[in-house]
Amino acid sequence: MASSEIESGGNEGSCGCSDVVVDQISLLSLKEKTSEVSKPDEVVPSAESSRKCDEDDREVALNKSPTSAWTCLEDYKRFSESILWTFMMNFYDKKGVDSWSQGIVPYFITSNAYIGRTYAKLLYGFLSDLSRGDTHMKLNKNEKLYIVELGAGAGKFSFFMIKALWELKNIIDFPIVNITYVLTDFTESNVNFWKGHHALQPYVESGQLDFAIFDASNDEQIRLINSGITLSKENPTENPIFVVANYIFDTLCHDVFHVDAGVLKEGVVSVGTSKEGEPDLQDPDIIETINNKYQYVPTEVDYYCDIERDVDAPHLKNVLTWYKTYFIENDPNELGASVLLPIGSIRALRNTTTTTTQSPTT
């Protein structure tokens, strides 16, 4: 790939591919879309039976008529565990930086010099506040301060922010030599691109820039490639960590819930394709042929108690309780309402903030 692509690339979050997945979320979040959409009260209440790819299931077919050819790729599953998210990650893994350089993924609105300077000024303000000494977070100017960017994609935004930080070095209230910006992404192809880009080399050589392969929703350690240091709960940094999430959370997995007539329901999805023949699940273009079916299954507000971290589960229960109560009290016509819960983003924040001794505990 041409080295100039960092001037024409973007970030993982601003993605055409994720738009397809977000469309699936949006359509799942509708109570009624067309005459083919099943009403929530038509859903078989048995969680077991609802997860079967059965012609008799009452289902939601998106963008296709009921008579369209349809091949089931995956039975009904929790939305955040759907193979849809795997398809999206395969897209980025296979396409690499070409996702942006070939114009597949829009990027300019989130990856330009103005945005980079704005984020740098936010960091400047953050450090200025901490330097006053009247906050619960403390700075040690003799220790490293890490800025971790999630889903850095082609690194264009990263370059602008690092450059802006360097320009602030004489007024920022922290030694610039002790600030390390860490570009992360889940795919090695992007990391290899950053390593070889001439515009990033001066920052690598000065120690201000490092790289890591990091799946924000699932990985609990950040292994820095250049320094060999691992940031983790077992080896935390002494200073607070500054996490940059520039248009990334929409690409991390979500769960979907629906409140209907006082009943909380989980949205489940069965992934299928309209493509004839045996589909190649590793083909990044398969997402263009997906034709999914959805159902709502009754569930409880303690949905997350056995499947998420103990520290997070009570808060997630409170969130679901609040939404259920709110719509019971404020939906007199029982029109129903859907809620997206960004569980992947919550995990990402927990995974990154536990790498510092000054992480919030709740």
SS (H, E, C) the chain: CCHHHHHCCCCCCCCHHHHHHHHHHHHHCCCCCCCCCCCHHHCCCCHHHHCCCCCCCCCEECCCCCCCCCEEEEEEEEHHHCHHHHHHHHHHHHHCCHHHHCCCCCCHHHCCHHHHHHHHHHHHHHHHHHHCCCCCCCCCCCCCEEEEECCCCCCHHHHHHHHHHHHCCCCCCCCHHHEEEEEEECCHHHHHHHHCCCCCHHHHHCCCEEEEECCCCCCCCEECCCCCCEECCCCCECCCCEEECCCCHHHCCCEEEEEECCEEEEEEEEEEECCCCCCCCCCHHHHHHECCEEEEEECCCCCCCCCCCCCCHHHHHHHHHHHHHHHHHHCCCCCCEEEEECHHHHHHHHHHHCCECCCCCC
Q: What is the mean pLDDT of residues 1-25?
A: 45
What is the overall mean pLDDT for the chain? 79
pLDDT score, position 189: 87
Question: Any idea which residue has 């029982």 for tokens?
Answer: 334
Given a cut of 70, is residue 58 above it in pLDDT? no
235-257 pLDDT, tens digit each:
999 999 999 998 888 889 999 99
Nearest residue to 87 (alpha-carbon basis) of 98, 73, 105, 100: 73
Q: What is the pLDDT of residue 362?
A: 37
Say what the pLDDT of residue 97 is. Answer: 64
pLDDT at 104: 62
What pLDDT digit, counting tens, does each position of 117-143 carry? Answer: 999 999 999 999 888 877 888 899 999
Q: Tell me the per-residue pLDDT of 279-335, one tens digit each, with 9 for 90 and over.
A: 777 777 777 888 889 999 999 999 999 888 888 999 999 999 999 999 989 888 778
